[in-house]
Structures are given as structure tokens and as C-alpha cells.
Structure 1
Amino acid sequence: MNIEINQLADRVERFVRDIVIPYEQDPRNTAHGPLQELIDELRTKARQAGVLTPHIRPDGTHLTQRQTATVLIRTGLSPLGPLACNTNAPDEGNMFLLGKVASPAQKERFLEPVVRGEVRSAFLMTEPADDQGAGSDPSMLQTTAVQEGDDWIINGRKTFITGFQGAGVGIVMANTGSAGKVAASMFLVKLPNPAIRVERVLETIDSSFAGGHSLLKIENLRVPREQMLGEPGQGFALAQIRLSPARLSHCMRWLGACQRAHEIATAYACQRRAFGKLLIEHEGVGFQLADNLIDLKQVELMIDWCAGVLDSGSPGISESSMTKVAAADALFRIADRCVQVMGGTGVSGDTVVAQVFREVRAFRIYDGPTEVHKWSLAKKLKRDHLQAVS
């Protein structure tokens, strides 16, 4: 690994541990995510420390996926770390996508303010189940975009839109097809926009995403043709460019969070005494922490393997699915053991462990539930077998 990247990652870790972690108990860190005032304060400090948007070089190029992992794992040591360093979801994934496919004019207007940490962004794809809209199956897309002259008029509803409250840029997925056919397209929108209304901010078990997760109503949103990302009907293809790296970035950040939770649980077990000895000396506790070490290393290796696949130029669709499933399940086991080892303290707000547990539980759903990824992998197994024997 490049010495410069390791030094950058070390600076990020010092910043998160020394500056960001003390903010975890700040009252501006709410159940619907940190308030914008807190984010701005942290980003000012990250900018001063030279660790704002560390995964993108000054010339606008992106670190390799392996280099990104080295940095993003460190930002994840606190749930506030990714927001402070501007490596959070959905911004990090949106930056990656726009950096790959946006036009120069689109980059200047929509990408650069996000890279500079001046605004946040949102990705408007998922739709409400009661509308029979797109979720894990994007082909169920109900939001429509109809061309009217040089503009597109968008109508529909979206849900679980992370970070929409307070965002300055939105990427909207809508169906530009006709005659009942789905032809997904992406549109760039400046936010807030009166045509997109928040019906409510959902109550969820996680709380690390700024603005929470919103249910939205889109009514007659007018978008100029030049704000379409790519060409009509390219939405699903563009989404694939974003999805694999974004899944992997989630794994990176939450690995950092679980490393921190494991540190806290280990320190607790090495200090707390019960039944005449330290907790860690009881096999029922010590073995759980040993299992954590094994799972942490396995997640690290899966991330490195998948990052290498992506860096080779492969889209890494199956590899990112495997990594997402393995990482999400292992990280949940780690966080669960940390809570168990710490007992009552583990379920309290006295440490960040309980929050990490909640966040990682949600990760088993976000970016595709475990079962959907396994279903996709099973389909590939069948397809590969049939091709091999034909």
C-alpha cells in the first residue's frame, strides 16, 4: 500500500479519535441523525485538518478501491466520522457515480459542491411498498417522467430516501418508458424543490444518517433535458456503476465502527470483575471476543478481495453481493457479542456500542437484504451451470 495513503489514513484516524468521537454525546446528534449545524462544525474542523473528502484527490480523481478501504475504515471508527470527513452514504456513492458519468457542466453544478463538503446529496430510487413501487426489485419503478418540450415532468413517491432533509443535490430515478415498459432514467435536481414534499421522516432503528430517511411525494417536478444523467433508459446501467462500490463502502465504514465497538467491549471485559476474576477470564466472555477477532479479520479480507476485483476493472456485481452478505452478517454478530459482553452497559447510551448494534442491524437490509443478494447469486449459479453443460 502506498506510504502516502497510509499516512492519510493515519491522519484520518487521529482526527476521528481526537476530534470527532467527543461529539458523539452532543445533543445535536439526534434520533434522525446529526443536525446540519453539527455537520458544518465537524466539516470545518476536517477541512482544517486536511481530511475532508479524503477519498478524492485534489485533481478530482478517485482513490482506488483498496486505497479507499484504508481510508474509509478509519472514518467509520465513529458513526459521526463519515459525515465529518464527507465519506458518508449516500454522498460517497453519488460522488463516485457523478465522477464517472456526469457531463462537465453537470459536474461543476452538482458534483463539485458535494466534493467540497458544502452540500449533501440524496439518491431517490426506493418507492413505498403500498404503491407496489421499486425496492429490492427496481423493475417495479412507479415514478414516471414524461417529456414536455425540452423538459421532463416527474411524478411519484419515494421512500427511505436517506439524507433528503437538508440535502442540496438529488438524483431521481424515474421511468421514461411507455406502453407499460420500464425504461429507468436518472435526473439531477437542485434541492430543496417545492415539487418534492416530505410526507414524513421515518422512525428507524438507525440514527447516523443526516436528515434521517424520508417518505417523499413528487408532484410535477420539471427538470430540463440537460439535467438528465446519461441518456433516456440508461438508469439501470448507471445504477450498476454506483451499486458495487457503494455496497463495498458501506462494508468499509461499518467495519471501522465494529472495530471500535470491539475495542470498547474488550476494555470493559478487561476491567470489570465478576465471580472472582476479570470478565475476559471467563470463557463465556473471552471466547466471544476471540470470535470477534476472527470475524473482523474475515470482513477485512473480504473487503480487500472485492476491492481488488473492482480495481481490476470488473463491475464486481457478484463479488460485491458476496462481500455485502458476508460483511453485514459478520458485523452484526460482532456488534451483538459486544452488547452481550457488556451486559446492561451494552444496551445503554453510555457508550457507542448500542448505536453501532442498531446501525449494523439496519445494514443487513440497506443496499439489498441478505436474502436478495443470495437469490441473485443462486440465479448466477444456475446460469453458469447451464452454460457449462450446454
Structure 2
Amino acid sequence: MFQSLANSMKIPELRNRILFTLGMIVVFRIGTHIPTPGVDAAMLTQNLPSSELFSFLNMFSGGALRRFSVFALGIAPYINASIIMQLLVYVIPYLEHLAKEEGEEGRKRISQYTRYGTVLIGALQAFGISFMLERYQVVPHPGWPFKIMAVITLTAGTAFIMWLGEQMTTHGIGNGISILITAGILASLPEAIAHQLALFTGSAEDVVKTILLLIVVVVVIMAIVTVQDGVRKIPVQYAKRVVGRRVYGGQNTFIPLRVNQAGVIPVIFASSILLFPSMIANWIQSLESMQDWIKNPIVFWVLNIFHYNSYTYLFLYAVLIIFFTYFYTAITFNIQELSDNMKKYGGFIPGIRAGRPTVDYLERTLSRITLAGGIFLAVVAVIPNLLINLMNVQFYFGGTALLIVVGVAMDTMRQLESHLVTRHYEGFMKKKGLR
């Protein structure tokens, strides 16, 4: 591994990409420590809630939410805008035309609309948070001037994070947005470990629970690594073609269908979708003026559905993960285009006729693999949280954090590997030299 890193640093382009990615992470971490004007930091530490939901949100922002820095909103507005835009592509004919017919130019325009949506959602969330801060009495001078300043500052912070992520994707290694989320989770790890040690009493029950949780973490990490590398190989043969005096084709190859084609994107999307109603439910339940209204059985039931880490929340979370696994796989893996390219170059799947039968076969196969991958993501994301609930303990690395950190690390390593392979260097994932 260290030799591979040394080899990658010998390649100017790859070295620049790695250093650029690290530099952007440093900029992101600096931003999480720049306070938002108008907020009393001392009162903020004392008065902010310490619920599971708040801890989860703070983890994704890399501690920026607890410090209420200019990056307090994190990348959530961008993720929500991306989900909405990708869904609208299938609903609005104009957007569908841009995505399918306009090529690169159409994708650029959709990306621009996503940026506009990010700013709008960020502004709305910042406005809501400014009210929350005033309610927790951490604003020395509350009022509209503070609200306007908070909206401008937090929205600008979110827009800057979005720009950082895009630049990292273009000029760095890996998916910039996912790397920033991972960086935020890992940055909160030392504080979480200290908090976990403070809760540890040394009793026999605590020791048993800690050992069980550590075993679960190790097993989950091993499962993620195994499934992320899982591939279904669809054999493809190319017919021989004679052009002039030369013979082309005739070789055998395969189509690699990954078990988890969508990576960690479904987990990020599902958690972002559920966080908003969870925040609303948590906020309503904390208001003294709402206590009589909350006693209504129907209202109480609705609020509990979206209560973070409740059983209904975890069930909805699992369903959304499976849905987004199918959704994201469908928009990133074009089976019709793959079939057309195979037919164009004389390729075929043994026993399957070219054309529509090939498309049907690939769709059936991909659907089964995607279902398995979606169920795996849902189980890994939910089971650790379920065990934490059953054992009544607080634990930092739930299934969501583990999936994101391990998944993003593997995706980044895989991309680095592809760069190394093209330059005939030994990569991370192979022990033998590449020829």
C-alpha cells in the first residue's frame, strides 16, 4: 500500500489531484471553525440540545453545527436539490429532453438548476435555524437583522461547500461531495471517542455491550468490503470481422455488473430525505406551546413515525434506501445504450439474441442484483442502529456512518487504482504488478 502511494506520487497529474483533494479538505475543515456572526458561542455550547438527531446532524457537518459555523448547514441542501432535480427529470418533459437529447450541454444546464435549488433550499433551512437559535436564547440581539444575516451567511457557506465538492470531483480524486461528508464524519471521531469513554462505567454490562458493538462494527465493515467488490460477470463474445486482409474481433470479454452499482449514494439520499421531517418532528415536540396539541393520538403517532431512530423511522429509512438504489442505478446505467454498442461492434451474450432480448436479459439480471444490493445497504444501515436501540446505549458509528466512510474510501481507492492501472503501476487492490 505504501509503495502504491509512493508510485502514485511519482505521477505528476495524479500527485496534483491528490494534493488538490487534500487541500480542499483543509479548506473545508477551516470553514467549520469560522463562527456565524451574531451568535454567542458560550451560550451556544450550554443551551443547544444533545439529542441523537442533533448528534447525527452535527456528525455530518463535521462539528460545524454544534459550533454553528458558516458551514453549519453542511452539504444537505445540495443533496436535497440533487434528489429533487433528478426526480423532476422524469416528470418535466423539458428537463427530460435536456438530460437525454442535449448531451453534455444539457447536463450542464441541469447542474446549474441544481445549484439554484441548493441556494433556495439552503436559504429556507437557514431561516428556520435562525428561529431555532433565538428560541434557544443563544442570540444576544435577536430580530430580523440577525435572521437576514444568518440566511446570507449560511446560504453562502453551503454554496461554497457545493463549489468545493464540484472542484474536487473535477480536479481531484473521487466524488468531492462524498469525500467532504466522509471528512466531516472522521473529523468528529476524536470527540465521539472521548464522549464514549466518558459514558463507560467499567461495569460488566458495559464491557459486554462494548465488545458486542465492536464485533458488529468489524463484521459490518467486512461485509461492506466484500459486497462493494462483488461483481456479476456477464460473458460477451465478439464475432470475427474481416476488413481487407485483417481479421478483427473474435475475443471474449464480460460486462461487470456490480452488486452495489449505486455505491453509498442511496444511503446519503435516504438519510437526507428523512432528516427534514425528523427535524420538524423533534422541534414540534420540544415546544411548550405544542404540548396540548401533541397529546392528540393521531398527531402523536405521526410525530413518532419521523422521530429519529424510532422503529418506524428505521423502516422508512430501509425502504428509501432500496428505492434510491434502484433509482440511482437506473439513471447511471443505460442498458439500451450498452446493448446498442454491443450490437454495433458485433458483440453478443452467448445464448441471447442481439437487440431486445439482450436488453430484457440485462434488465432482469441487473434488477435482481440491484435488489440484493439495496437490501444489503438497508440491512447494514439499519441493523447497527436497531441493536443500539435494543441495548439502550449511545454509539457514534451507526450503520449510516460506517457505510459512508467505508464505501467512499473504497470508491476513492478504486478511482486511484484506475489511474495507476492506466500508467502500468501496481495499485491498492492487487498484489502482483500490472502488465
TM-score of the aligned structures, taking structure 2 as reference length: 0.28
Query: Normalized per residue, which structure has more helix?
Result: 2
Q: Per residue, is there more strand in 1 or in 2?
A: 1
Higher relative contact order (CA 8 A, sep 6+): 2
